Chain A
Amino acid sequence: MTLTVSFTINGAPVSTAVHPETVLADVIRDEFQLVGCKVGCDQAVCGACTVLVDRIPMAACSTFAFEAEGRDIVTIEGLARPDGTLSAVQRAFLDVQGFQCGFCTGGLILLVTALLERDPDPDRATITDWLGSAVCRCTGYLAIIEAVETAARLNREVAA
């Protein structure tokens, strides 16, 4: 059995045929070649596969493709402006080196993007709570927390 799902991905409207059991991560990686969406744990734990679905961070490894019907999906490849300008969160991760191997980074950047859209000035407890949506085995999280705080500041500077 296949079904057709339609959604927008990084701004582009698309339609694609999927099986009900196909998960979003496979569609994003295999069909749209957006391989910045990584699959680490394949169990909704590590957040490497996080994408934004209607600006909500979701584990693409554990979300069925059919759930994307009619929704707006953003992957890490869709975050920078078309001219290549990085988003504040990307900029912050780059500036403070909020990554090492980088396998968790795309998912984390999308997660933090969603956090700052909801809470532009999160306190430590909020940041820690949100980072619970991800695992980074490399950094020990210090640099990531710094990246979140830096991104919040960059956003404020732009707004000011």
Chain B
Amino acid sequence: MTSSEPPPLVALRGRQRIAPFALVRVGDTAAAAEAALAGAVPMGGGVDLVDRMKFGERIERLMPLSGLALGGVEATEGGLRIGATTTYAALAESAEAARLAPAFARLVGGVANPRIRMKGTVGGSVMSQKPNFDVWPALMALGADLVFADGDGEARLPAAALAPDERRLLLAVEVPAGADARFAFDRSLRPIVSVFAGREAATGALRLAVGCAHQRPLLLRLAAGETDVAAAAAAALPPPKSDGLASSTYRRRMVGVLAARLARILPGPDAAS
């Protein structure tokens, strides 16, 4: 058995299974960015990370991000910039977010529970790329950018372009100005499926991010003027998973139903459809 592959210890998940690791302490963001590229694993709130380690996942070097100047929510020219280590709670309570991205703030203020929201970070939520977490698909639907440390500067990536093996340090996410007014979500069928929708200002196209239904959340785009959103969304969706909660067929159909409902409430050229 190789050391990277956790032994099949059935049901023996737990804190005593967290493998020893080295703690990497860094003084500033630049050092953190460098360490991340060198293989240190960043820890935001650690909610997801600790959970994975309790299943036996080995982390050799762990780098807490607390103490770095990576938090904070601020208005920028482009819109709203949310530092990677901003907790769900801090974001939900932020005056800037309430002003510039109230719907997104409401989403973030309602996921999980207050205990998790005071620990889990926006960056950790996105970077975990877990199918059931809400922030990343919400950012996709908002047309937001992920801002990574890159050399001495920053690199931007549309949220939907995040690669599964991204190793760079996430510095912040940026929600474009005005996007929030054309954003809505439906989590009522979680954990079977959740849908986040945003209308592109320029084109009127509908961005639909789908959570819970695949290995990773994913983004669909329906052209403006689509008359049958339900059918189009269901047809465009890659095969969703089947499990004991729901079949693939049901998930596909529900993506259509929820997408159509969201399309109806989003302002836009084809709001009436």
Contacts and interface: CB of A to CB of B under 8 A. Distances in A.
When A and B assemble into the complex, do they touch directly, with CB atoms less than 8 Å apart? yes
Interface of A: 1, 3, 19-21, 23, 25-26, 39, 42-44, 47, 50, 56-59, 61-64, 66-67, 111, 115, 129-130, 132-133
B272 interface: no
Contacts of B13: 42-43
Contact of A21 (B18, B66, B118): B18
Given A20-B21, A20-B62, A44-B51, A50 B46 contact: no
B7 interface: no
Interface stretch (B107-115, B139-147, B223-231, B258-266): B107-115
Report the contact-size class of chain B (Cβ under 8 Å from the partner): 20 to 34
A27 to B, nearest CB: 11
Contacts of A44: 47, 50-51, 115-116
B46 A63 contact: yes
A57 B51 contact: no
Contact of A61 (B15, B19, B21, B110): B15
Contacts of A20: 20-23, 62
Contacts of B22: 1, 20
A46 to B, nearest CB: 11
Leading 8 A-B pairs by shortest Cβ distance: A132-B113, A133-B115, A133-B113, A21-B18, A20-B23, A42-B14, A23-B15, A62-B50
B216 interface: no
A144 B227 CA distance: 49
Interface string B101-129: 00000000010111110110000000000
B64 interface: yes
Interface of B: 13-15, 18-23, 46-47, 50-51, 53-54, 62, 64, 66, 110, 112-116, 118-119
> Which of A1, A21, A57 has the most CB atoms of chain B within a 10 A radius of its CB?
A21
A19 B22 CA distance: 9
Nearest to A107: B115
Main SS class of interface, A: mixed
Given A23-B15, A59-B115, A129 B110 contact: yes
Nearest to A60: B15
Nearest to A24: B15
Given A3-B23, A58-B118, 11 more contacts: A20-B22, A39-B15, A42-B15, A47-B115, A58-B115, A59-B115, A62-B15, A62-B46, A62-B47, A64-B46, A67-B46
A121 to B, nearest CB: 16
A59 B15 CA distance: 12
Contacts of A129: 110, 113-114
A133 B15 contact: no
Nearest to A56: B118
A133 B88 CA distance: 14
B62 to A, nearest CB: 7
10 contacts: A20-B21, A20-B23, A21-B18, A21-B53, A43-B51, A44-B115, A47-B115, A62-B50, A130-B113, A133-B115
A122 to B, nearest CB: 11
A66 B21 CA distance: 12
A20 B50 CA distance: 12
B115 A111 contact: yes
B19 A21 contact: yes
Nearest to B55: A43
Contact of A57 (B21, B62, B118): B118
A57 B23 contact: no
Contact of A26 (B15, B46, B119): B15
Contacts of B18: 21, 23
Nearest to A57: B115
A58 B117 CA distance: 10
A90 to B, nearest CB: 19
Nearest to B115: A133
Contacts of B50: 23, 44, 62-64
A20 B62 CA distance: 9
